[in-house]
Structure 1
């Protein structure tokens, strides 16, 4: 749609169109609630494999990562061994984590980030971005492979690499995702949910704002406009101010 030639109507006509669209929005809300209930009803998988992570307090198990809470949410951040900076798309999403954690940690939920690179390799990037969330390394374990966010180079070459529950047409060795785990009173850990690709959209609050706007996300390819938050060019109107000396 060319927004420069967008239909313009009276206020009364606009209200009628908005009311019709509101009925569709309410249908979507009810469907979203239904999908959320179905998601909670999915069967679980007991985690019997031992995973060890490296972080600011040294080595920690998957159980340790819960930090005394019943629910653990792990964002699988694309930062592979040898990388100098993290994936811009993952960084876009990660910019929303600290604000969410202000509330989630008070609701029996631990939210943190895991990457495949050794822990020391992403410390300077984390400081550069100014993030406070806990960021762990799964280096040396099968964790990223087992939860569908890393594949072997041989599988890529053979065309058998899988991502998002299917064979991936254009995989990388590291890919984004989110996994949810629950720990019961007996200390048993269960994998309850994972999502990938466009399933991560709901975690990016900035996208929800953009979806309300006349131009929408205004991108030719997903996140083609987005940069690390310290790499946006300064907008012309921000270069000076009426109070500048």
Structure 2
């Protein structure tokens, strides 16, 4: 941890106000970016997708639950895995309780993974989650929206992840996709984000960014090496310090 200057309250307020100007500039830039995002063109979804849900088959249209907007969290969970990706689960823990708030603004949120619905339901129960989660194991949805990749694609070496800007680092990768359904029942793909684009959706990271230590991931084999499934963290002794 870097050494910090210790100052008076007045000096701290002066420094904080200087930083506040930068924060306001970022907020204004983010608002412009959001406006630009909303103005992006759309792609009509002409392909039919049937997903496996806990109560049987459901279509992409069914996932909207009568609302015009659908947010899909692509959770990494391959058919031969016994648990979902710990990092994707980190995100899922965060959106678990926001589903009713999104519904109040005409938006449905659902998780989609390749694993069988039985595995999804068992893991969902283990984690105490209540959001809708369906399996795309019997359709091309994950491949069409570029979060799952075949061995042939990976061996060819031409990256398709994150719009071709990020090299493959596995056959299953994270993402978010957004869809709109009009009154005629037509569905449009309006947005997707991947890789670091998902960072803004992790509330725990945003809180850590407010702290002096930040995410303190320096020196780890990879940034999220510290993340565990919520029920796998070792309980820390009272007063223990995580950074030595």
User: TM > 0.5 between the two?
Assistant: yes
Large movers: runs of 4+ above 6 Å? none
- Work out whether residues 181 and 191 of structure 1, in 8 Å CA contact, stay in contact via their aligned partners in 2: yes
- Please list every run of 5 or more consecutive structure 1 residues that lacks an aligned counterpart in the other structure: 240-245
The answer (yes or no) to whether the contact 2:174–2:195 under 8 Å persists in 1 is yes
2:11 to 13, 25, 41: 13
Contact 2:136 2:142 in 1 (8 A): yes
- What's the TM-score once normalised by structure 1's chain length? 0.93
Within 2, Cα distance between the matches of 1:228 and 1:206?
14
Partner of 1:186: 184
- Please tell me whether residue 236 in structure 1 is matched to residue 237 in structure 2: yes
Partner Cα separation in structure 1 for residue 71 and residue 6 of structure 2: 45
Computed over aligned residues only, the root mean square deviation of the Cα atoms, in angstroms, reads: 1.4
User: For 1:81-140, what per-residue CA distance to the aligned partner results, in whole angstroms no more than 9, with x for missing partners?
Assistant: 110011000000000122111211121110010001121122221111111001000012
TM-score normalised per structure 2:
0.93
| Deviation larger for 124-133 or 159-168 | 159-168
2:213 aligns with: 215
How many residues are matched?
A: 237
Quick one: structure 1 residues 194 and 237, their matched pair in 2 at CA, closer, same or farther if it must change by over 3 Å? same
Shift of the 67–225 alpha-carbon distance from structure 1 to 2, 3 Å rule, reads same
Deviation of residue 76 (structure 1)? 0.3
**Structure 2 SS opposite 1:236:** coil
Instruction: Tell me, in whole angstroms, the C-alpha distance in 2 between the residues paired with 1:161 and 1:80.
Output: 20
Asked if 1 retains the 8 angstrom alpha-carbon contact of 2:161 and 2:168, the reply is no
SS state at 2:96 partner: helix
